[in-house]
Amino acid sequence: MKNENAITVSELTKTFGTFTAVNAISFEVKKGEIFGFLGANGAGKTTAMKMLIGILKPSSGQATVAGFDVHTESEAIKRNIGYMSQKFALYDDLTVRENITFFGGIYGLSRKRIQEKSKQLIEDLGLGAVGKSLVGSLPLGWKQKLAFSVAMLHDPQIVFLDEPTGGVDPITRRQFWEMIYKAAHAGTTLFVTTHYMDEAEYCNRVSIMVNGKIEALDTPKNLKQHFEAATMNDVFLKLARG
């Protein structure tokens, strides 16, 4: 049977000098799953994610992403994933269309495919009126929705979203999550970090990191039951406070 896991992680560890930022984490993410990756500031989420997307060498442990080994096949991983973060997404000084064309080119799409994708994407996001506007002039929420779509231009198997909705208003956040659901429904795997606990409730499963370790991993429903908490926020506080 074909492997149904999009991501498999075993004892993955990253040390910086004597400090262990990610401490032997193990988990699996199923294909088409929306997997929430939570933790307080400094818990090790970004370091773990950097190892998974092939830009940081693990100190020890194993992981495969989209079927490729993080130690030896990081280039293949990069071709098969999308990545979007709150901190870096699009070029503010390029227009909407120019950004799409630029990233389409980076992802190796043909000119024809870029044109098709660009048309479809601008239509889907209702950005027709601002196609020729600089991205820097758009509201943050629009930028983030556009960035998410651009991260999926090359139809990646897995998309990593690093705090994608930070600073975005609640209505746009909801629209953003509708996009996430749509992508998952179409078979894409979503790996999402967030500090918004209401968003944790939207994930199929959630892992919570504390000081480099995964201290809990389950569906939001099971986590709430296990920790006798009414909300994911309460689960998070119970864990983070030890």
Ligand X SMILES: Nc1ncnc2c1ncn2[C@@H]1O[C@H](COP(=O)(O)OP(=O)(O)OP(=O)(O)O)[C@@H](O)[C@H]1O
Name all contacts of 75-82 with Cβ < 8 Å and 24+ positions apart.
77/52, 77/53, 78/53, 78/54, 79/108, 79/154, 80/156, 80/157, 80/158, 81/53, 81/156, 81/157, 81/158, 81/159, 81/160, 82/151, 82/152, 82/153, 82/154, 82/156, 82/158, 82/159, 82/160
Q: Which residues pair with 219 in a beta bridge?
A: none
**Beta carbon of residue 21, minimum distance to ligand X (angstroms, whole number):** 3
**Beta carbon of residue 144, minimum distance to ligand X (angstroms, whole number):** 17
Which residue, 195 or 238, has its beta carbon nearer to ligand X?
A: 195
Which residue, 4 or 11, has its beta carbon nearer to ligand X?
A: 11
Which residue, 21 or 217, has its beta carbon nearer to ligand X?
A: 21
Please check whether residue 100 is in contact with residue 153, taking contact to mean a CB–CB distance below 8 angstroms: yes
Which residue, 24 or 76, has its beta carbon nearer to ligand X?
A: 24
Considering only 47, 74, 101, 118, the residue that binds ligand X (CB under 6 A) is: 47
154 lies in the site for ligand X, by CB under 6 A: no
Considering only 36, 44, 61, 156, the residue that binds ligand X (CB under 6 A) is: 44
What is the SS3 assignment for 231?
Answer: coil
**Beta carbon of residue 92, minimum distance to ligand X (angstroms, whole number):** 22
Identity of the amino acid at 71: H
90 lies in the site for ligand X, by CB under 6 A: no
- What residues numbered 24-43 form the site for ligand X, per CB under 6 A? 39, 41-43
Which residue, 46 or 157, has its beta carbon nearer to ligand X?
A: 46
207 lies in the site for ligand X, by CB under 6 A: no
45 lies in the site for ligand X, by CB under 6 A: yes
Can you tell me the distance from the alpha carbon of 185 to that of 187, in angstroms, rounded to the nearest whole number?
Answer: 5
88 lies in the site for ligand X, by CB under 6 A: no
78 lies in the site for ligand X, by CB under 6 A: no
Give the length of the chain.
Answer: 242
Which residue, 83 or 103, has its beta carbon nearer to ligand X?
A: 83
E strands within the chain? 5-16, 19-30, 34-39, 60-65, 68-69, 81-85, 158-162, 189-193, 205-210, 213-218
54 lies in the site for ligand X, by CB under 6 A: no
Q: What residues make contact with ligand X under the rule CB under 6 A?
A: 16, 19, 21, 39, 41-47
